[in-house]
Amino acid sequence: MPASHRIRRPRIYRPTATNLARLAAALRRGAIVGVPSETVYGLAADALSPEACARIFEAKGRPTTDPLIVHIASASDLDRVAIADERAWRLARACWPGPLTLVLPKRPAVPDLVTAGKNTVAVRVPAHLQFRRLIRLSGRPLAAPSANPFGYISPTTAAHVRDSLVGTSLKAVLDGGECAVGVESTIVDLSRPQGRPRLLRPGGLPVEEIERILREPVSRPGNVRVAAGTAAPAPGMLARHYSPRTPLKLYSRIDAATIAALPSGDAALLLRRPRDVKEFAGRVRWLSESGQLKAIARNLFAMLRALDTAGWRCIHAEMPSGSDGLALAIRDRLTRAAARR
């Protein structure tokens, strides 16, 4: 194939001072940049520029009914994009930087494209140091959904981003290492000053911690789902999301007998390492050595990607028990990933 017709992959940049300055300048010019965070990798653009944010939707194939999260460098920048009440400030002081997104009334400077036309905006301060440095250097709040084709498994390494978005307008990815949390941020709706806080998406921060800080209960409406084509108040609320292309089936428990009964072209994904690995002849993968939820969350998306590209006909995955802490977030991701098309 002639060189002029080759599809170029995005370039991965190490987080040096020179590279951070280069990528910040690209963001100021309206480019999109792959960025690391403690949750998953994001696809960032100037949150106050509709033209720049439109490139995010185009690169991902993302419908404009699905809003973006706006990332700021510190809580002191919150007034620039949102209107915060006393509860929001309490959570911001206690939880930022960290995997918590607040849905609040938006400032006029935030484009309607970012918020799916709603009068609220989702905003957070990421805990990843290099991402915050990039925000500061750019001088802009940065809108950044996950850096992958819309609906596909979220990326947790720079290589995931590079390989997923080949042939798009994305040219640069900042390498910040593997994501420490591995699932997206918790999203809480505080847009109604007199209303009860509402959990829109479980994530890296347990909702029990939010309730402790607020000293009031948070409404937990369950696996909140938004119909396709309907403007959502926050991202990650479609019934099917985070999904491998390989069919995914879920189990409360997968034992040796279940694995033995699987068709030869199927694989099993366990929560913890089995006692006798050799017995399963390469058909089994696991997310942790001992069932620790932090390890399961950190490894979930990377393992789903590895299985999805390995040629299996079906993936059979265990789900953690419980409806609190990280277990709730992991169950949410797996449930949406396994939903029918």
Q: What is the mean pLDDT of residues 313-323?
A: 94
Q: What is the mean pLDDT of residues 298-308?
A: 98
Q: How many CA atoms lie within 13 A of 43 on its CB side?
A: 31
pLDDT band at 154 (very low <50, low <70, confident <90, very high): very high
Higher pLDDT, 43 or 194: 43
Which pLDDT belongs to residue 320? Answer: 96
Q: Is the pLDDT of residue 16 over 50?
A: yes
Which pLDDT belongs to residue 238? Answer: 85
Which pLDDT belongs to residue 1? Answer: 42
Q: Is the pLDDT of residue 205 over 80?
A: yes
What are the backbone dihedrals phi and psi of residue 236, each rounded to the nearest 5 degrees, phi first? 75, 25
Identity of the amino acid at 200: L
Q: What is the mean pLDDT of residues 191-217?
A: 94
Identity of the amino acid at 111: P
Q: Is the pLDDT of residue 281 over 90?
A: no
Q: Is the pLDDT of residue 280 over 50?
A: yes
Note whether 44 and 143 are within 8 A (CB): yes
pLDDT band at 224 (very low <50, low <70, confident <90, very high): low
Which pLDDT belongs to residue 167? Answer: 93
Which pLDDT belongs to residue 228? Answer: 67
Q: What is the mean pLDDT of residues 36-57?
A: 98
Peptide bond into 145 cis (omega under 30): no
Q: What is the mean pLDDT of residues 276-292?
A: 84
b/e sequence 135-170, b meaning 16+ C-beta within 10 Å = bebbebbbbbbbbbeebbbbbbbbebbbebbeebeb
Domains and CATH numbers, the chain: 3-214 (3.90.870.10), 248-338 (3.40.50.11030)
Tokens representing 49? Answer: 């520029």
User: In angstroms, rounded to a whole number, what is the distance separating the alpha carbons of residues 148 and 327?
Assistant: 24
